[in-house]
Structure 1
């Protein structure tokens, strides 16, 4: 286990995150505490951070150091971005922090900031090609990656705090002239980045402003599941949020669901930036990553001791593995159940009964591994707990829609409950629900064939007869429990094949 304390000294907020890494559970947040600082507003016309700003910084860092000490954390990493990076007296600020708090603040460059954001996104989102944007208080970082490899990066010297200062000073957040000026300025800045226009790829948005935009939209549509990581918006969705903000009087901004009070006066510049970028990139969609600079930096630090800790090509698999460990699912049982469901599927595929896409087959197999993880909470209500835990968990490398599909398969008990759960989102038509029911039935039957967790099933083969189908199961050990449960669950398998099924257990 490795535990570190990371302090992100941004232009708008300062945040303490205590990270814990274990091989079983991966990288996890133990504590996440933020406080608004607005350091960018303390930089005077000569580019010098005032004494008031430095005092505010020292006070917050002192508090965060005390919190870290209470957790017995020796490795504290304070990192500073645009506000201090752009201050003419940055060396004096760093020295003051060292002298008064014995903390070594590292100023990271715009390029480093962009790289850490990319690393976090590529390790938690499954896309192989994308443009990333991380808009902070005083700078905006952009990257383009292809085949999960970083190709371009750029740091632009403006953020939501500086945009507000430049264009909205003494103006309302929805002032028409200010909005027009911001749009023109931001479009010009983006078009100067010659690798950005017309990329025609998804945009991955990082940071607090992006999360607020996502939460506002989720509130508008009464989004049925939790979390903004992996949440996707279209251009029309972005425009809807922008129009809402533009039409809302400043006194009514507090009533906008999903909008943080700390960002109410900064959200309009952020909305303009995102809408403008979407048009410049000619993006296919706008997706949000809850992971950014801090996670990318934490991965970099932890990788020094654990070089193989993070794999950008196994995002979904690793996330499921961590979920399995979180709920104490027996690895041997999960692997055997996954093996059986895969064999059953291939038998059905031979007779052209089931033909799944590669992606759906992967979801089915992962669902088999975490089948009924709700047992961890209450065995009598295992299906219900399984559905709500998975559908509302932050699972990396998978869309929200596929996450709900995974939950429906892993929680399958009967058609009545399936229909009840599916109504929550209303995302699947009858044909899709029929397929989900088949896959849930297959997983449930696979679970019956290893109900004793003794791994007795050696092989199985499905054959067609004049009266239906016969499933011959070869076993090693004592199959008494598996025989009983397989017969109980046989009706689910018969639903898939549409005919009668005879099961024969034969010693291998």
Structure 2
């Protein structure tokens, strides 16, 4: 969660942040329902987030559910539980989710045209923009949790499994209409996996002078090397400098999906946004 204060014009001042990884897309049962402990975790997170937001001076608190909540068959039950807290849980459809991600990620970047790739646990959201105006969106069921469950059975995942995920994602991105970038277009990536991959790359560049991840340039060739390292290590990747231990189980899937999206659009570099839909 990010608490921000709107300043003059389009300026946004970040007041406070709180991270809570719920991984809801991986906590659906065989019937597509959020498990009871997942629902409890959502309520606990909202309680903590509201306390932080109100402590920072926020007035009206809005809660938005994205892909995993949208797909959960017991979504009404979760909405009711949140309503008992006096809060309306808004469930964003795919196009709204992509629009929110675009507004959060791109407006803080020095780019005017391109494609935003927002990788979450349940979905891969794509948004093309021209002159900082949203043009089209698409959502692909290739979030890190879904991709890992569907393609990466081994530990470590085999080369064949990794190639299958890469090819499926690349073809899905192209089928959605997101093909080669124009000369004036940039590929912007956001989401927890994207930011953590940037941290890993930065840790492999000891002389890199800037600590901030927002605006970090991740070269496709460097992402390819990191992806192979993470794939080969599997659950043993926790020793990789820069990797958040909570993402050990999904980071290889995230690297493969982002790499496939970049390849579908023939992007040589990925600009990492530290902002987005939180």
Same-fold status (TM-score > 0.5): yes
Contact 2:171 2:264 in 1 (8 A): no
Match of 2:135 among 127, 151, 157: 151
Correspondence for 1:140: 124
Residue 234 (str. 1) matches residue 219 (str. 2): yes
Contact 1:173 1:268 in 2 (8 A): no
Deviations 1:227-258 (A, max 9, x none): 1111112221221211222333532x122111
Consecutive unaligned residues of structure 1, counting only runs of 5 or more, are 1-15, 295-508
Distance 2:57 2:218 in 1: 41
Distance 1:138 1:149 in 2: 25
Correspondence for 1:9: none
Q: 1 or 2, which has the higher helix percentage?
A: 1
Residue 174 (str. 1) matches residue 157 (str. 2): yes
Distance 2:41 2:188 in 1: 32
Distance 1:206 1:108 in 2: 18
Correspondence for 1:273: 257
Distance 1:112 1:85 in 2: 12
1:24: how far off? 8.8
1:284: how far off? 4.4
Distance 1:125 1:162 in 2: 29
1:141: how far off? 0.7
CA RMSD of aligned residues (A): 2.0
Correspondence for 2:81: 96
Kindly report which structure 2 residues correspond to 1:123-134, keeping only aligned pairs within 5 A, or say none: 123-134=107-118
Residue 190 (str. 1) matches residue 190 (str. 2): no
Which structure is larger by alpha-carbon Rg, 1 or 2? 1
- Classify the secondary structure of the residue corresponding to 1:76: coil
Correspondence for 2:5: 20
Q: What TM-score do you get using the length of structure 2 for normalisation? A: 0.91
Count of residue correspondences: 275
Deviations 1:434-474 (A, max 9, x none): xxxxxxxxxxxxxxxxxxxxxxxxxxxxxxxxxxxxxxxxx
Distance 2:218 2:146 in 1: 26
Kindly report which structure 2 residues correspond to 1:287-326, keeping only aligned pairs within 5 A, or say none: 287-294=271-278
**Which ranges of 4 or more aligned residues in structure 1 deviate by more than 6 Å?**
none
The structure-2 alpha-carbon separation of the partners of 1:25 and 1:283, relative to structure 1 and needing over 3 Å to count, comes to closer
Correspondence for 1:199: 181
Correspondence for 1:31: 16
Distance 1:73 1:145 in 2: 30
The structure-2 alpha-carbon separation of the partners of 1:198 and 1:26, relative to structure 1 and needing over 3 Å to count, comes to closer
Match of 1:87 among 59, 72, 77: 72
The structure-2 alpha-carbon separation of the partners of 1:111 and 1:71, relative to structure 1 and needing over 3 Å to count, comes to same
Match of 2:49 among 64, 67, 74: 64
1:64: how far off? 2.5
Q: Which has the higher contact order (CA 8 A, sep 6+)?
A: 2
Residue 245 (str. 1) matches residue 227 (str. 2): no
Match of 1:114 among 98, 102, 106: 98
Match of 1:43 among 24, 28, 46: 28
- Classify the secondary structure of the residue corresponding to 2:243: coil
Deviations 1:22-47 (A, max 9, x none): 32993122211112222122212222
Contact 1:49 1:89 in 2 (8 A): yes
Distance 1:272 1:180 in 2: 9
Kindly report which structure 2 residues correspond to 1:411-422, keeping only aligned pairs within 5 A, or say none: none
Distance 1:81 1:240 in 2: 31
1:202: how far off? 2.1
